[in-house]
Amino acid sequence: MKLSKTEEELMSHLWKQEKAFMKDLLEAYPEPKPATTTIATLLKRMTDKGFVGYNLLGNSRQYYALVEKSAYFSKHVNGLIKNFFNDSASQFASFFTKETQLTQKELKELKKIIDDQIKDQ
């Protein structure tokens, strides 16, 4: 299952805070802040989708992520590779390195990451 753009934005605030009350999540947004009802609706949908859980503390809910950020984005990237690059990681890497205008330094850092990964296998 996937999050909408607005749900992803809220989820990113929750990942940063790890555990948060609604007021904490609202404070994380820049101005103009979304309405409290908007955040409540998003949290409800994300809870129903299985991305967010909460603990009741008195009358308040303390929210936390049920899905790790790395796991969510890993699934996203793998889906992108499968759907747009014929399930070819090399086609994805070629596109990524050519179309994102990486600097020489960034390309060298990527090469080092790949070389290190090859050594570890």
Distance CA 88, CA 74 (A): 15
Dump pLDDT digits (tens) for 94-108. Answer: 887 888 888 889 888
Q: How many CB atoms lie within 10 A of CB 91?
A: 13
Write down the pLDDT at residue 17: 96
Write down the pLDDT at residue 24: 96
Pairing of strands 60-65, 52-57: antiparallel
Write down the pLDDT at residue 78: 82
Write down the pLDDT at residue 101: 82
Yes or no: domain 5-65 corresponds to CATH 1.10.3720.10: no
Dump pLDDT digits (tens) for 43-72. Answer: 999 999 999 999 999 999 999 999 999 988
